[in-house]
Amino acid sequence: MKFNFGEKMKNLRKKRDLTQEQLAEYLGVSFQAVSKWETNAAYPDISLFPVIANFYGVTTDELLGVDITQAKEKQEEYFKNTYDLYRQWKLVEMVELARKGCLEFPGNHEMLNNLAWCLYESYGMMSTANLDEAIEISKKILEESTDTSLRNNAASRIVYCYNANGDKEKALEYTGQLPNHAHTRQLISGRLGLHQGQKQIEFSQACISMYYEALAEVMMQYANINYDNAENKLTHEEKIEVLENMLKIQQAIYGDNLCDQHFDAYEYNRIIACIYLLMGKKDKALDYLETAFSHAERFMQYKDGDKYQSVTLKNVESRPHSRWSRSPFEDMLDKFTNQDRYDVIRDDPRFIAMLDKIK
C-alpha cells in the first residue's frame, strides 16, 4: 500500500487532539501550510521534519513512512560492520563505511553518532581533522536529539576529542553536560538492589569490572606516571606504592588467571621498573621488567572466550585479543628499542635476554 504522508500527519495531529491552528502555532507556520501538508498539496521544509517528529514522539523515518524494522536492521548491520573493521584495524575503511551509512540515513542521529565514534577512533592513523569533524557532529546531536543516551554519548565524545586536541579547558567545560556519578544507573541500581537472582550477580560483576577500570585509570593519573602534572609532588616511592596497590586490587578481583588483565599487569610492572631506573636501582628495575615480560607471555597465551576463575568474577568471559591494537610484546619492543631510559641497562645480560626473546 502506498504511503500517504498527508494522512499520517492528520492522524498524528488528531491523536494529540490538536487543531491545525494549534499545530501551526507550535511549529511557527501558517495553518494553511498545515492544511496543505495534510492534503498532500505541499510538504514541510526539510528542516521541520525533525521538529515535527520530536513533537509527536516518533522518528523521522516513521514520519516519512520508512519501514522501521527494515531500517533498524540495516542500521544495525552498519554498526556491526564498522566495529568489525575497527577490530581488524581497518580504520580508513571503517570511516568510509560510516559515511556511507549517514548518506543512506540522512539526519539519523544514531548513524551520525556512529560516524563520530569512527572519526575519533581513527584520528591517530588518519588525520587530527577527524577530531574537529567528530566534535561538530556530536554538537549537532546535542542540539537536535532528545535521546538521553545519545546526548550523553555525544557529550562524552566531545570531551575526549577536545582532550585529544590538547584543549583541556573545553574538555572540562563539556563534562558539565554529563551526569554526576551519583546519578548513574549502575550506582543507583546497585545501591538499591533493584536486580534480583542471577541478574543481580551478572549486574554486580559488570559493575565490578567497570569500577575497576575506572579506578585503575584514576590511580594512574594520581601516580602521574607520564609526569604531565608538574604540581604532582608524589615521591618515586609513593608512585610505586600506588601501582603496587593496583596490582593487589587487580589480584583480589580477577584472581590468578588474569586472562586479558595480564596486559594491565604488564603495564604496572613495566612502569614500576621505569621508576626504579630513575632511582638508580637497576636490579629492582630488572626484577619488575622480568615480571612484566612474564605477564606479556601469559597475555599472549590466553584464548578468546577464556573465563576468570576468581570468586568475584567467576565465569565472566574475558575480553578478546582484538580489544588491543598491538600486543604487549610489540609495545615492549618499541619501548626497549626507542626509549633512552633503558640505556643504563642495555648491556645487562638480563635485559639482552628479554629483548632477544621479544624479537
User: Which residue, 227, 167, 204, is CA-closest to 311?
Assistant: 204
Decide which of 67 and 24 is more confident: 24
Q: What is the pLDDT of residue 166?
A: 93
Confidence label for 245 from pLDDT (cuts 50, 70 and 90)? very high
Beta bridge pairs of residue 198: none
The structure's pTM equals 0.71
Confidence label for 69 from pLDDT (cuts 50, 70 and 90)? low
pLDDT higher than threshold 60 for residue 63: yes
Per DSSP, the chain holds a count of helices (H) and strands (E) of 18, 0
Looking at domain 5-63, which CATH architecture does it have? Orthogonal Bundle (1.10)
Q: What is the pLDDT of residue 66?
A: 65
Q: Sort 179 into a burial class: Cβ within 10 Å, 0-12 / 13-18 / 19+.
A: exposed
Asked if 215 and 264 touch (Cβ cutoff 8 Å), the reply is no
Confidence label for 26 from pLDDT (cuts 50, 70 and 90)? confident
Decide which of 125 and 134 is more confident: 134
For the stretch 277-335, pLDDT in tens is 999 999 999 999 999 999 999 999 999 999 999 999 999 999 998 888 789 999 999 99
CATH 1.10.260.40 domain range(s) in the chain: 5-63
String of b and e for 268-305 (b: at least 16 CB within 10 Å)? bbbbbbbbbbeeeebebbbbbbebbbebbebbeebeee
CATH 1.25.40.10 domain range(s) in the chain: 68-178
Confidence label for 54 from pLDDT (cuts 50, 70 and 90)? confident
For the stretch 76-96, pLDDT in tens is 999 999 999 998 889 999 999
In the CATH scheme, what is the homologous superfamily, with its name and number, of domain 68-178? Tetratricopeptide repeat domain (1.25.40.10)
Which residues lie closer than 8 Å to 177 by C-beta, 6 or more apart?
142, 151, 155
Cell of residue 282, nine digits? 637497576
User: Average model confidence (pLDDT) for the chain?
Assistant: 91
At 312 the three-state DSSP class reads coil
Confidence label for 147 from pLDDT (cuts 50, 70 and 90)? confident
Q: What is the pLDDT of residue 228?
A: 75
